[in-house]
Structure 1
Amino acid sequence: MDSGASHSFISARFASCLDVTPDCMSYILDVSTPTGTSMYTDSVYRSCKISMAGIPLYADLIVLPIRDFDVILGMDWLSAHRARMDCYHKTVDFYLPDGMTFQFKGGKWFSTPIISFIRASRYLEKGCEGYWRM
């Protein structure tokens, strides 16, 4: 989760494990990186299922040639799920539009669990029906 990212992204390498074809956006998105460079893309995987606390949430993941992260959940996703971040306590509280609430609590060193690429690929074998456990 990255409150500094306006959109949600998936790495091109990680996306190559999906057994679905991305949609083409009607525009080319120019994404500025923290290093000051730009990346351009027009591909997006729509409505990818992400399971948190057993609750299915969905994200539109824009494809980028990034290396350091498999998936970045940005402000578009965080705001759609009415998330509130507490950096001190390393928690994210979700207040879903249907009234359901739940909390995600980060670990000591990582805010999300790390899983291997092979294990993640197994989750994604069914296309966007794959999910990351958090």
Structure 2
Amino acid sequence: MRFEERAPARAYAIRACEDASSLDVITGTFSLYDTNVITLIDPGSTYSYICMNLMSNKSFPVESIEFVINVSNPLGKYVLVDKACKNCPLMTRGYCFSADLMLLPFDEFDVILGMDWLTLHDAVVNCRRKIIELKCQNSEIIRIESDESRELPVVLDTKVSESKIESVPIVCEFPDVFPEELPGLPLIREVEFAIELVPETSPISISLYKIAPTELKEGFGRPSFSPWGAPVLFVKKKDGSMKMDIDYRQFNKVMIKNKYTLLRIDDLFDQLKGATVFSKIDLWSGYYQLRVKDSDVPKTAFRTS
């Protein structure tokens, strides 16, 4: 057995509805091996299917198919289908319209006829009038009208509305943590970001890079009289905006690195057990959460022309 290399087949989730006059689906009754089957005509389905519950009560011929079909519904769920009834004689008005019906678990219909069957029999579907026209083997055209005397199924509307950040309860509870714009320097908190240097390190001041006047007019930096100074340049991003890069390579050589043991990845996953709320924070907001210690601010200075 091997898996089929193609896009997943499509089938629709359905439910019963009493108001037949407002439906946009087409149903009909066919005879299959002397058994009347309620059929949904579904151009949105790639293949045709027969209800597995119906098969359990009948002795219809079943065989394995060459490829396993991955059938998806509008809810994003998948079912693997590997059996089918080939050349099933669907009878109506004395005419036979054969169909290859794959076994699929659903309850609302006995049979779903998809695009493969509609194409095979040159069907013309009139959705507004709920009528299909089928071409017989003798080229005669017969018309089948939808049966509206019974409870008909409808296609579920599974469109999911776009989520907005305002609809997340935890965001509404802590608006200061998720601001739309940064309101200035971070608040003074119990923990501050300190920059520790190797003892007896003298201030490092590197020759500046040339920078265009446009960036200076935008006010990306502020005047500083710090003895420290790292060169800075602005790089244009793909979207046309500018990204500031500060060359702290020489400064990093004399800075004392934080040394602590990293947690094991499996331990981190264990901590998530039973959690129902997950959050993430981007670098733009992440750097804003921790304020640089006042005495270390001069060390972050950079130089421009």
TM-score by length of 1: 0.75
- Equivalence for 1:47: 87
Q: Which amino acid aligns with 1:33?
A: N
Higher share in strand: 1
Contact between 2:81 and 2:103, CA under 8 Å: does it hold in 1?
A: yes
The aligned runs of 1:4-83 (5 Å cut-off) are: 4-83=44-123
Root mean square deviation of aligned Cα = 2.0
Q: 3-state SS of the aligned residue for 2:57?
A: coil
- Equivalence for 1:131: none
CA distance in 2, matches of 1:71, 1:79: 17
Q: 1:23 to 1:35 in 2, by over 3 A?
A: same
Contact between 1:92 and 1:103, CA under 8 Å: does it hold in 2?
A: yes
1:13-33 Cα distance to aligned partner (Å, 9 max, x none): 111122144110122110011
Q: 1:92 to 1:6 in 2, by over 3 A?
A: same
Q: Which runs of 4+ in 1 moved over 3 A?
A: 107-112
Instruction: For structure 2, list consecutive stretches of 5 or more residues without a partner in the other structure.
Output: 1-40, 153-305
CA distance in 1, matches of 2:150, 2:113: 15
Percent of aligned positions with the same letter in both sequences? Answer: 28
Q: 1:78 to 1:110 in 2, by over 3 A?
A: farther
Contact between 2:95 and 2:136, CA under 8 Å: does it hold in 1?
A: no
CA distance in 2, matches of 1:70, 1:41: 16
1:71-101 Cα distance to aligned partner (Å, 9 max, x none): 1011100110000111111110112454121
Pick the structure with greater CA Rg: 2
- Equivalence for 2:6: none
TM-score by length of 2: 0.34
Q: 3-state SS of the aligned residue for 2:67?
A: strand
Contact between 1:49 and 1:56, CA under 8 Å: does it hold in 2?
A: yes
Contact between 1:11 and 1:66, CA under 8 Å: does it hold in 2?
A: yes
CA distance in 1, matches of 2:87, 2:61: 13
Q: CA deviation at 1:70?
A: 1.5
